[in-house]
């Protein structure tokens, strides 16, 4: 049902113990959200708003000021959109390389690189994430110190990527083993990036230019602008790339929709799944699929996922900015519907 594809910001369901550092001081006040798809939570207690496979996963993290997410690495692209507060993203193995991002900014973190992040603002902050593929590449790789610190608080990560919390009576299942920390030789195989390198993987919301791609549906180009944010390396229209080391791609692209006032895309459809995330402003969506129709108004933080092949229309009701995550590595141009 189309109604189930609407996820209000107020409907997000946090997990307090999603990862191995959930009880380590400095990281113990985190909230983790799995919104679309299975995500990479290591906890069996993680709830998901919409478990339908999209070819990518969408989640979020919420943290009070000065709370960190410990250094880790992924096997597919990890993209963050800052929703609220101000965030320090740091990478490599020493936390010395960093960049500060603000609401609306986006960062694409390469594979085979350790990264972490911290809320450095003065309020509780939220960041939304997009992870490539349905299984997000097989989970999370942690620095050895993160695994060792977690043991002091009763948390053990298994080889299958699942978390055991001994403080609530959980035990390592028969036939399972705790994951072995990476060796020094293993750590030397991870890539190192300078700050200048990583600036190529950051998009700042106030600097975007309208897309040169003429295939976007738009009935009011004077007030509504499409933005190429993140996509394939060989596309000159995109701001930067998510194709970082996976020869098969990561299964998604990111676009933006910026409104100066009221405006509408007009009706269109596409063969790929398309997820609309409202960063700021008010947008009305129309969707028609398999004989069912829905019209809803979305506000800050709300999400709607359009099914493949559905007819849709997006109307800006106010000044605002929305991100769209579109499935496939090379999505086709949308098809206008009269």
pLDDT at 283 over 80: yes
Mean pLDDT of 154-168: 87
Most confident among 8-17, 159-168, 245-254, 316-325 (mean pLDDT): 316-325
**Phi, then psi, of 337 in degrees rounded to 5:** -120, 125
Residue 236 pLDDT: 36
Confidence tier at 40 by pLDDT (50, 70, 90): low
DSSP 141-190: EE-HHHHHHHHTTTEEEBTTS-EEEGGGT--PPTT--BPPPPPHHHHTTS
Mean pLDDT of the chain: 88
Q: What is the largest CA-CA distance in the chain?
A: 64
pLDDT at 203 over 60: yes
Residue 44 pLDDT: 67
C-alpha dihedral sign at 25, 65, 88, 109: positive
Residue 86 pLDDT: 98
Tokens of 324: 């769209």
DSSP H or E run through 116: strand 115-119
Confidence tier at 241 by pLDDT (50, 70, 90): very low
Closest to 133 (Cα-Cα) out of 328, 332, 330, 334: 328
Of the listed ranges 100-109, 180-189, 211-220, 265-274, the one predicted with least confidence: 211-220
Please write the tens of the pLDDT for every residue from 107-156: 988 888 999 999 999 999 999 999 888 875 557 889 998 999 888 988 99
What DSSP state is assigned to residue 16? S
Residue 245 pLDDT: 39
- Rounded CA gap, 194 and 187, in Å? 17
- Rounded CA gap, 274 and 184, in Å? 42
Residue with tokens 């919104």: 35
Q: Are 187 and 195 in contact (CB under 8 A)?
A: no
**Phi, then psi, of 11 in degrees rounded to 5:** -90, -5
- Rounded CA gap, 125 and 221, in Å? 33
């Amino acid at each position: 049902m189309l109604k189930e594809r609407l996820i209000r910001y107020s409907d997000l369901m946090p997990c307090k113990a999603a990862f191995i550092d959930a009880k380590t001081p400095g990281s113990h006040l985190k909230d983790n959200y799995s919104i679309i798809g299975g995500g990479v939570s290591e906890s069996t207690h993680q709830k998901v708003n919409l478990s339908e496979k999209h070819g990518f996963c969408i989640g979020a993290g919420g943290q009070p000021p000065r709370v960190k997410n410990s250094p880790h690495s992924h096997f597919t692209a990890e993209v963050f959109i800052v929703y609220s507060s101000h965030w320090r993203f740091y990478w490599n193995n020493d936390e010395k390389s960093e960049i500060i991002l603000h609401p609306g900014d986006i960062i694409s973190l390469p594979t085979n690189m350790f990264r972490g992040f911290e809320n450095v603002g003065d309020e509780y902050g939220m960041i939304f994430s997009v992870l490539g593929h349905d299984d997000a590449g097989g989970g999370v790789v942690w620095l050895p110190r993160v695994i060792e610190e977690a043991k002091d608080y009763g948390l053990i990560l298994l080889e299958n990527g699942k978390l055991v919390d001994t403080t609530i009576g959980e035990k390592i299942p028969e036939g399972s083993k705790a994951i072995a920390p990476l060796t020094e030789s293993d750590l030397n195989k991870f890539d190192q990036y300078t700050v200048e390198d990583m600036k190529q993987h950051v998009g700042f919301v106030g600097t975007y230019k309208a897309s040169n791609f003429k295939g976007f549906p738009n009935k009011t180009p004077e007030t509504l602008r499409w933005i190429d944010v993140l996509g394939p390396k060989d596309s000159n229209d995109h701001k930067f790339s998510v194709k970082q080391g996976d020869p098969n791609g990561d299964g998604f692209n990111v676009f933006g929709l910026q409104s100066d006032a009221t405006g509408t895309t007009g009706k269109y459809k596409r063969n790929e799944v398309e997820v609309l995330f409202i960063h700021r402003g008010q947008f009305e969506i129309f969707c028609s699929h398999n004989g069912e129709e829905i019209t809803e108004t979305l506000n800050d933080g709300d999400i709607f996922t359009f099914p493949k092949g559905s007819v849709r229309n997006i109307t800006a009701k106010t000044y605002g900015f929305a991100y769209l995550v579109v499935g496939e590595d090379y999505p086709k141009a949308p098809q206008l519907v009269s």
